[in-house]
């Protein structure tokens, strides 16, 4: 009981001293807001060893020490300089006393017929950590000492005994890290773990037992990213120097802009002369390209969307050659319809092409002539359907 009280008192003193030290700590060398890192950054592993004291029922029956050794491995991650999580696995042997060999994990009779208990423990826990040093004093990657309160939930299992017990635990603790370098820390941790009353196989109605633990170890930061980059922190002198450089660059830029403007004006004038000369030459040039054929469905003079796309292309060609004349010849399939019907249909087909070129695509109507050829035999590939067409060709 005395040992349990002493360890709890030590825990309180360390936590109180931590709070006092945070107020007295000299201003850190570098304090700044930070950028968020990826999920795979800021992981660490740790290994530690120490002692534990199990404060169970009837702990005052004997005078022999019930402090035992323990070992632990941990894996954790910091999401920000302040908030992190950690998982751990510990193994240790607990000791106590029992009023009867029927209750508790009886081991042997001690002095004065005191019955002693002993059992193995496997302890798995998950912790939420708050870095109080970074929270109250700002993030400083070179700080030697960080005080980190934590809260945990866990699962404790009695090992090596036929009355094996499993129970949920909760706890509070304080983790202290002491920086060696950017990768390694020394760790010192104290914590109190509350365990259900029946865990030691002795029920006295207190509701819970207490395991007080103290450990010392090392931790190693994994990966290349072990800290956080500063978020936009600059000094007044640095800002002034940048502004001075920007002003000089602006003056040089303005000078270059003037030279570029002069060159661009000269270039624009030269391009305009070339454009005018090309346009004048194009006016006198005659179109010598291939003819273009428009096809229709049977008994129809309506232009499909596909043909409209192609007509727009030929319209642009016609407008490029204002001195050229074109004839639009309409045709029909001789094998369907009468001669009079086919003549009228061929004229409608040619006229629709003319109207589309002039009214839709802005071609000069004086460049175009329309004629209907009536029904004809197969014009292309011995296929009568290919005779349902209009042909645009230069005169």
Which long-range contacts (C-beta less than 8 Å, at least 24 apart) are formed by 35-39?
A: 35/228, 35/229, 35/230, 35/231, 36/80, 37/225, 37/228, 38/225
CA neighbours closer than 13 Å in the CB half-sphere of residue 26? 5
- Comparing 2-221 with 292-394, is the CATH topology the same? no
Interatomic CA distance for residues 65 and 62, integer angstroms:
8
In whole angstroms, what is the distance from residue 389 CA to residue 310 CA?
Answer: 14
Asked if the model's pLDDT at residue 7 lies above 50, the reply is no
What percentage of the chain carries pLDDT values higher than 90?
A: 42
Tell me the C-alpha distance between 75 and 77, whole Å. 7
Q: What is the pLDDT of residues 233-266, one digit of tens each?
A: 555 666 788 888 999 999 999 999 989 989 989 8
DSSP 289-349: ---EEEE--TT--PPPHHHHHHHHHHHHHHHH-TT--EEEEEEEETTSS-HHHHHHHHHHH
| Alpha helical stretches, state H, the chain | 2-24, 132-137, 236-284, 305-320, 339-355
Q: Tokens 């700590």 belong to which residue?
A: 25
d(CA 176, CA 145): 7
Q: Which class would CATH give 292-394?
A: alpha beta
Which pLDDT band holds residue 281 (cuts at 50, 70, 90)? low
Cα radius of gyration (the chain): 47
pLDDT in tens, 215-228: 999 999 998 888 88
Could you give the percent of the chain with pLDDT greater than 70?
Answer: 87
Which range of 28-32, 33-37, 92-96, 333-337 scores highest in mean pLDDT? It is: 92-96
Q: Give the dihedral of Cα atoms 258, 261, 267, 273; nearest 10 deg.
A: -120
Indicate whether this model's pTM tops 0.75: no
**Domains of the chain: which residue ranges?**
2-221, 292-394
CATH fold of the domain at 2-221: Porin (2.40.160)
């Amino acid at each position: 009981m005395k040992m349990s009280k002493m360890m709890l008192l030590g825990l309180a003193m360390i936590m109180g001293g931590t709070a006092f030290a945070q107020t007295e700590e000299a201003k850190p060398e570098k304090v700044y807001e930070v950028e968020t890192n990826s999920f795979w950054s800021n992981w660490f592993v740790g290994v530690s060893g120490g002692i534990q004291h199990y404060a169970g029922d009837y702990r005052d029956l004997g005078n022999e020490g019930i402090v035992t050794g323990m070992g632990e491995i941990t894996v954790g991650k910091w999401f920000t300089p302040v908030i992190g999580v950690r998982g751990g696995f510990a193994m240790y042997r607990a000791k106590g006393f029992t009023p009867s060999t029927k209750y508790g994990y009886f081991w042997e009779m001690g002095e004065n017929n005191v019955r002693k208990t002993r059992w193995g423990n496997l302890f798995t826990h998950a912790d939420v950590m708050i870095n109080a040093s970074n929270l109250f004093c700002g993030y400083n990657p070179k700080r030697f000492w960080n005080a980190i309160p934590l809260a945990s939930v866990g699962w404790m299992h009695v090992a090596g005994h036929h009355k094996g017990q499993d129970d949920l635990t909760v706890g509070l603790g304080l983790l202290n890290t002491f920086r060696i370098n950017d990768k390694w820390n020394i760790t010192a941790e104290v914590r109190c773990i509350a365990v259900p009353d029946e865990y030691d196989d002795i029920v006295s109605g207190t509701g819970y037992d207490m395991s007080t633990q103290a450990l010392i170890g090392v931790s190693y930061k994994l990966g290349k990213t072990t800290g956080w980059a500063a978020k936009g922190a600059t000094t007044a002198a640095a800002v002034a120097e940048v502004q001075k450089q920007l002003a000089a660059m602006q003056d040089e830029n303005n000078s270059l802009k003037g030279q570029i403007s002069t060159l661009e004006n000269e270039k624009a004038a030269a391009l305009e002369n070339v454009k005018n000369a090309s346009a004048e030459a194009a006016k006198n040039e005659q179109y010598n390209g291939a003819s273009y054929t428009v096809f229709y469905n049977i008994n129809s003079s309506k232009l499909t969307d596909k043909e409209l796309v192609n007509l727009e292309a030929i319209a642009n060609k016609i407008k490029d050659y204002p001195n050229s004349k074109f004839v639009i010849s309409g045709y029909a399939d001789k094998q369907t319809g009468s001669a009079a019907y086919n003549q009228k249909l061929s004229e409608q087909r040619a006229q629709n092409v003319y109207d589309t070129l002039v009214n839709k695509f802005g071609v000069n109507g004086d460049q175009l002539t329309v004629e209907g050829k009536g029904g004809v035999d197969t014009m292309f590939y011995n296929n009568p359907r290919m005779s349902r067409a209009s042909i645009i060709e230069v005169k």
